[in-house]
Amino acid sequence: MWNRNFMFRHQEAVPLEQSENELFHDTDPALDSAGLQLEKFLSVWIQGEGEEGKPTAYTNIYVRTATLDFSKRAGFLQPIQGRSHQIKQMLTPDQKAFLKNWLITTSRQAWEESDDHFKDLFDK
C-alpha cells in the first residue's frame, strides 16, 4: 500500500511542508476552544497501490478538517470523510488542481491506472 498526506490551510492552494502527523503529533486535544486562536486546515490522505515506495495506482482519497492553535499546541481533528460529494465540497478548485497535477507528475502511470471515479474527484 502507498499513501501520502497533504495539509492545506483552509483556503490555500499549496499545502504545508508538514504532514498531519507532524503537525498534530505533539499537540493536545483541545477540550474547549475558549481562548484559543484556531487556524483551519484540510488534511487530505491519498492511498493507492505501490511498489518500493512508488505509487502504481491511486485508489482512495479521504479529507478531514482540522483546527490548530500553534502557540498553545492544541487542536481538533475531525473524522475522515470519504464520500465523493463531501470531498468535492471540501476542497477548493485550486486545491483540486494542485493535487491532480501532483498525482500526475508523481506517476502518470498510477494516474492512468486509477478508476474514473477517483479521477472525477479532481474536476473543478
Render pLDDT for 45-74 as a digit per residue (tens, 0 to 9): 999 999 888 999 999 999 999 888 877 777
pLDDT digits (tens, 9 = 90+) for 7-18: 999 889 999 999
Show me where the domains of the chain are located. 2-120
- The three grid cell numbers given for residue 30, joined into one nine-digit string: 483541545
> What confidence tens digit (pLDDT) does each residue in 85-111 have?
889 889 999 999 999 999 999 999 999
Provide the b/e sequence for 43-78 (b: ≥16 CB within 10 Å). Answer: bbbbebebeeeebebbbebbbbbbbbbeeeebbbbe
Q: What are phi and psi of 43, to 5 degrees?
A: -105, 120
Residue 6 near residue 99 (C-beta atoms within 8 A): yes
pTM: 0.87
> What's the grid cell of residue 97?
488542481
